[in-house]
Amino acid sequence: MSRGSFVFTPMALRSLELDEDMLERYKYKKQLASHHLNSYMVKKEIRNRALLRSDTALPAAVCQDVVVQNALYTGDLEAMQHLFPRGATVNLIIEPQGGDMRWVATGEGLWSLSYEQELTTPLHITAGRGFADCLRLLLQRGANVDLSPGGTTALHEACENCQPECVKLLLVHGANANAVSEDGLMPLHICTSPGSLECAKCLLQYGAAINSRTIDEDDTPLHVAARNGLTDHTELYLRYGAAVDKQNNEGLTPLNVACSQRQEVQDLQVYFKVCQMLLGAGADVHTLDQDKHSPLHMACKNANPDIVDLLLANGACVNDMDYGGEAPMHNILKVVCFKVSHQPERIVRALLNHGSIRVWPGALPLVLKHCSESPRTIEVLLNAYSHLKVTDTWVESVSSEVYKEHKEFYDSVFSLALTPRSLQHLARCKLRNFLEGRVHKVVPKLDLPTYIKNYLLLEYRGYIH
C-alpha cells in the first residue's frame, strides 16, 4: 500500500453513507422551502395588487408571474377579475417563454444561440387572441392602449390576427389608428388577409390614413391589398379615396404590384378582379417601375391571360422594352414550360393580334425546345409566319416524351420540311401583315363568317398546314 492511502473499515463506510443521506435530505428540504416561498410570493403579489386603489394607470412593470400569464394566455376572465381588480397595475411588460433561436453577442467577440424574446403586454395577448371580454376588462382598468414594448401596439396585434371586435374595442378606448410599428407599419398595412376586412373597415371609420406609407417600401394600404389579391379590401380603399397611381420605392403602382405578384392557377381570377377595379378607378397601364417593366411585362411573366387581355383592351403597348431590351412576348415565352396550365397560348395569341414583334426565325428551334409542352403556343407562334425553314434541329428540339404525347401535331410541324404552307394560310398572313397592329380591331368588324374571323385571329386547330 502506497504512502498517503488507507483502508476504509466497514464502520467508516457506513458513516459516510449516513452523511450522504443527511446531505440529500438537507437539499430536499431546501428545495421544498424554496417552492413554498415562491408560492407565498405569488400569493403576496396578488394580494398586493388587490390593495392598490388608483384611478390612473400605473407605469409599466415587468411581470413574471406565471399565474397572471396563464390567465391572459387562456382568456380566463374570472381569474383576471381577481388578478386585476380596480386600481391594480395593468400596464405590465411580459416576456413570453420560447421564441425563435438567434445569435446574440455576449461580449469580447463571443456569440451564443439564445431564444429571441419579444416583449408583450396583457393588451397584446388578449387582443391578438380575440379575448374581447378580457380585453375590455383591462381597458376598463386603465391599461395604456398604445403601449408597445415589442415594437407594435395591441392594435397591430389585433389586425394581424383578424380580430375585428378587439380592434373596435381598442379604437373606442382611444387607440391610435395610425400608430407606427418598429418596422414602419401602420395597422392598415397589417391587414393582409381576407379575414382582416372588418378590421380595415373599423380602422378607416376611426381615422386611419388611407394613403399612409410604410417606411421601408413606401407602400400604401392599396399596394398591400393589390399584392395580396384582396378584392374586398381594394374595393373598400378605393371607396375611401385611395390614390391608384402612387408609386412605392421600386416605382410600382398598385396595378404594377398586382400584375407582378406570383400567381398560381387558383389565384388568377382574384388578381384579375383586383386589376379590373384598379383600371376602373383610373389606374395608368403605362407606368413603369425602376427596371422599365410595365404592368403588361409583369402580367406576361406571371402568365395571367385575363389580365393581359384587360391591359391590352385599356391601351397597353405590346412592344415596350424594359432595361434588358425585352418586350412582353419575351416574358411569356420564358415561362411557358412552367405555366402550361395557365393557358399561355392565349397570351401569345393576344400579343400577336395586337401587333407584337415576332421571334427571330433562327431562334424558333430554341423556342420549340422550351415551349414544346404547350403545342397550342407553338401553333400560334408558327402561324404568324408565311414561310418556315424546318430542319432536323426542329425535330431534335422536341423530346421523345412530348412527341409521343402530341404526335399528330408535331408530325404536321415537321412535315413542313417537305411541303410549303397552304394557300389559305398565305392569304391569312397577307391580310394580317396589311392590318399590322389593327388585327384585333378590324377583323371582328368584317362581314365574314365567324369561322373565317377566328382563323384570321389565329384560333387553334391542333395542327399546322
Q: Are residues 351 and 455 in the same domain?
A: no
Q: Is residue 276 part of a domain?
A: yes
Alpha carbon distance 296, 288 (integer Å):
10
pLDDT at 448: 93
Q: Which domain holds residue 455?
A: 367-465
Q: Are residues 192 and 295 in the same domain?
A: no
Q: Are residues 132 and 201 in the same domain?
A: yes
Q: Is residue 103 part of a domain?
A: no
Alpha carbon distance 263, 307 (integer Å):
12
pLDDT at 6: 46
pLDDT at 136: 96
Q: Is residue 456 part of a domain?
A: yes
Q: Are residues 71 and 194 in the same domain?
A: yes
pLDDT at 59: 57
Alpha carbon distance 321, 330 (integer Å):
10
Q: Are residues 244 and 194 in the same domain?
A: no
Instruction: Give the CATH number for residue 321.
Output: 1.25.40.20
Q: Are residues 122 and 178 in the same domain?
A: yes
Q: Is residue 398 part of a domain?
A: yes
Q: Are residues 63 and 197 in the same domain?
A: yes
Q: How far is CA 314 from CA 263, 287, 309, in A?
A: 22, 13, 9
Q: Are residues 239 and 167 in the same domain?
A: no
Q: Is residue 294 part of a domain?
A: yes
Q: Are residues 320 and 374 in the same domain?
A: no
End residue of a domain, out of 305, 337, 357 = 357
Q: Are residues 174 and 243 in the same domain?
A: no
Phi and psi for 145 in degrees, rounded to 5?
A: -70, -20
Q: Is residue 134 part of a domain?
A: yes
Q: Is residue 101 part of a domain?
A: no
Q: Could you tell me the mean pLDDT of each successive run of 10 residues in the chain, 465 residues long?
A: 48 59 58 48 44 44 79 90 85 71 60 67 94 95 91 96 97 96 95 97 97 95 98 98 96 97 95 98 96 97 98 97 94 96 98 95 94 97 94 95 96 92 95 92 94 96 93
Q: Are residues 275 and 340 in the same domain?
A: yes
Contact 371, 342 (CB under 8 A): no
Helix 231-239, helix 197-205: angle, nearest 10 = 10
Handedness of CA 444, 445, 449, 452 (dihedral sign): negative
| Closest CA relative to residue 383, chosen from 347, 415, 422 | 422
End residue of a domain, out of 300, 332, 357 = 357
pLDDT at 82: 87
- Following DSSP, what letter does each residue of 306-363 receive, concatenated? HHHHHHHHTT--TT---TTS--HHHHHHHHGGG-GGG-HHHHHHHHHHTTPPPPPGGG
Handedness of CA 251, 254, 259, 265 (dihedral sign): positive
End residue of a domain, out of 167, 189, 208 = 208
Could you give the number of structural domains in the chain? 3
Q: Is residue 44 part of a domain?
A: no
Residue with cell 396585434: 157
Q: Are residues 202 and 217 in the same domain?
A: no
